[in-house]
Amino acid sequence: MVAQGWGKAVSPPVMNSMITMGEVPGGGPAQMDLGELLATRLLVQGNSGSGKSHLLRRLLEQSARMVQQAIIDPEGDFVSLAEKFGHLVIDGADHSEMALHAAGERMRMHRASVVLNLEGLDADQQMRWAAAFLGGMFEVPRQHWYPVLVVVDEAQLFAPAAAGEVSDEARRASLGAMTNLMCRGRKRGLAGIIATQRLAKLAKNVAAEASNFLMGRTFLDIDMARAADLLGMERRQAEAFRDLARGTFVALGPALSRRPLSVRIGSVETESRSAGPVLAPFEPPTAPVHELILAPVPVHDLPARQRKAPAPSAPDLLTQLAAHGEAQASVQAEQEQEEDTAETQAEREARMTAVLRDMMEDEESSFRPVPVLYQDFLVRCRIAGLGRNALDLRRFNRALATARSGVSEDTSSSTQWQEAESRASSLPEDLQAVFLFLARAAIERTPCPSDAQIAKVYGTVSTGRARRLLAWLEDQNLLVLRADGMGRRVLTFIGTGWETLPGMADS
């Protein structure tokens, strides 16, 4: 396609990053520039049966030896790539959301191509699992930012234009992950390739980030209109999409062709091409990767808030603003600190704890992101005459976890509580409050909290999440859950003998 489409004035494409997708009408090869594709992403659209999955398979087969691949596969279409090309197939149904986040990170660290098979999961789960996996890929440290083709088939499932049956939480997470992939993935080496049967059902901002298009047979006017808009064609011209044969697509974009070009997609199972000097040859790992990628997640490896949608940028801005304000006010702060010396550290801490408790009484506070709470806390501390730099963010997090646990002053001064805090400190920050909340119930011998209460401390309304959290804490051998004769839960902390009274999970 490129060979056909680019004019003479443009420097010749580097042939070694080319793959052949099929044939152009005259009979020549329809090529796609993989190097360019990595930078400019691809959107494939066509009605069901138009040949999108076949097209994706062709692309994946042709490039499997040149670049690492990740496939989000809602229908289990692509698991067969494993046999010929060694992709690791991850069956979503067999793994937790957390394990998938870790798998997303690790597949990049170990440079293994992966098919994430989401067949058989309900829509809500498909979204959250995909979001966790994509989130892991996105958040991997910079030294692992090698190029990866990230193929998402039936992308309207993961980035729907409108709210559907699924929970808001799942939709937000999934849409966030897809937006990150298409809008901010490039810098991290992620090249989004998305296919959809209904352009009108795909979130606009996700579709708009692709610069390459392969448009297949399209029936509905609304989809045709969207396609014409994206391609910058007259709507009349787009009428041609109605008559396209299965397996024929109109190609346009820097990796494909400068002008709309019709392409007949070739067969699958062809041998892959050798890699060239532009794209570094991709060498799949020789050792089995299953253990490397899917081993249980050690506590300290878990990124904080991994299953939440990425924090909005506003709080970051707030933190930056606060830092700026602090610098400017350093002189004043020093004066304040001098005045402070009369007050003992213990007195200060008691007053800060009181400020935090006050904040926690505000119902809304459990659902506000930590950076926002931190700003609120700093302001309240200033008002209380505690100075500008009452606590740094890290110490604030600790104090917040303690405050969220709702522990009484009596309990908080006990040696048992010190033990609980020391155990909590080895957990990811976002889990510390829940852990302390449960520990408090056990130490104070109150009934085991309900799922809804646990969810609230975790900052969510999802009771499913609360149950997964409990299951995870059990997995880590931190506590054991058992049912009493009346179906109530009892929670015992391993190695301490702390135990709650029985409590209903759904009260």
Ligand X SMILES: Nc1ncnc2c1ncn2[C@@H]1O[C@H](COP(=O)(O)OP(=O)(O)O)[C@@H](O)[C@H]1O
Beta bridge partners of 253: 257
Least Å distance between CB 2 and ligand X?
Answer: 20
Instruction: Show contacts with Mg ion in window 374-413 (CB under 5 A).
Output: none
Provide the 10 A C-beta neighbour count for residue 382.
Answer: 15
Find the shortest distance in angstroms from Cβ 156 to ligand X.
Answer: 13
Question: Is the separation of the CB atoms in 371 and 319 below 8 Å?
Answer: yes
Give DSSP secondary structure letters for 301-314.
GSPTTTTSPPPPHH
C-alpha to C-alpha distance for 331 and 501, rounded to whole angstroms:
53
**Binding status of residue 50 toward ligand X by CB under 6 A:** yes
**Residue 275 CB neighbours (<10 A):** 18
Closest separation in Å from C-beta 77 to ligand X? 7
Question: Rounded to the nearest whole angstrom, what is the least distance from the CB of residue 197 to ligand X in the complex?
Answer: 6
**Strands 479-483 and 88-91, sheet pairing:** unpaired
* Three-state secondary-structure class, residue 478: coil
In angstroms, what is the minimal distance from the CB of 170 to ligand X?
A: 24
Instruction: Burial-class residue 416 by CB neighbours within 10 Å (0-12, 13-18, 19+).
Output: middle
In sequence order, which ranges of 260-312 are alpha helices (DSSP H)?
290-294
Span of 24-32, 48-56, 312-320, 325-333 interacting with ligand X by CB under 6 A: 48-56
Region 210-249 residues binding ligand X, contact defined as CB under 6 A: 246-247
Of 53-92, which residues contact ligand X (CB under 6 A)?
A: 53-54
Total of chain residues touching ligand X, rule CB under 6 A: 11
Cα separation, 436 vs 434, whole angstroms: 5
For residue 71, the cross-strand partners are: 115, 151
Residue range at the interface with ligand X (CB under 6 A); choices 44-52, 180-188, 402-410, 415-423: 44-52
Helix 370-383 vs helix 393-405: crossing angle, to nearest 10: 90
Under rule CB under 6 A, residue 265 binds ligand X? yes
- Closest to ligand X by CB, 116 or 137: 116
112, 17, 62, 242: CA torsion to nearest 10:
120
Selection from ligand X, Mg ion, none that 49 binds (CB < 5 to 8 A by kind) is: ligand X
Closest-approach residue to ligand X (CB): 247
Task: Give the nearest distance from C-beta 243 to ligand X in angstroms.
Answer: 16
Out of 13, 46, 147, 160, name the contact with ligand X by CB under 6 A: 46
Angle of the 429-443 helix axis to the 393-405 helix axis, nearest 10: 30
Find the shortest distance in angstroms from Cβ 248 to ligand X: 8
Q: Which stretch binds ligand X (CB under 6 A): 41-49, 59-67, 269-277, 466-474?
A: 41-49
Contact 36, 251 (CB under 8 A): no
120 scored as a contact of ligand X (CB under 6 A): no
For residues 245 and 321, which CB has a smaller minimum distance to ligand X in the complex?
A: 245
Contact 150, 134 (CB under 8 A): yes
Is 451 within 8 Å of 506 (Cβ atoms)? yes
Select the binding partner of residue 46 from ligand X, Mg ion, none (C-beta < 5 to 8 A, by kind). ligand X
Q: By rule CB under 6 A, what string of x and - marks binding of each residue 413-452 to ligand X?
A: ----------------------------------------
Q: Which lies closer to ligand X via its Cβ, residue 253 or residue 266?
A: 266
State which H helix or E strand residue 152 sits in: strand 148-152
Q: By CB under 6 A, name the one of 25, 28, 49, 495 that touches ligand X.
A: 49
Q: Which does 425 bind (CB under 5 to 8 A by kind): ligand X, Mg ion, none?
A: none
Of 138 and 158, which CB lies nearer to Mg ion in the complex structure? 158
- Smaller CB distance to ligand X: residue 160 or 247? 247
Backbone angles phi, psi at 501, to 5 degrees: -80, 165
Q: Which does 51 bind (CB under 5 to 8 A by kind): ligand X, Mg ion, none?
A: ligand X
Q: How many chain residues are in contact with Mg ion, going by CB under 5 A? A: 1
Residue 404 binds what, of ligand X, Mg ion, none (CB under 5 to 8 Å, by partner type)?
A: none
Examine residue 174 and tell whether it contacts Mg ion (CB under 5 A). Answer: no
Nearer to ligand X, 136 or 247 (CB): 247
From the list 277, 273, 284, 282, the residue with the least C-alpha distance to 21 is 273
Burial 451-476 (b: 16+ CB within 10 A, else e): bebbbbbbbbebbebbeebbebbeeb
Q: Using CB under 5 A, which residues numbered 15 to 74 contact Mg ion? A: 53
Which residues of the shown chain bind ligand X in the complex (CB under 6 A)? 46, 48-54, 246-247, 265
Which residues of the shown chain bind Mg ion in the complex (CB under 5 A)? 53
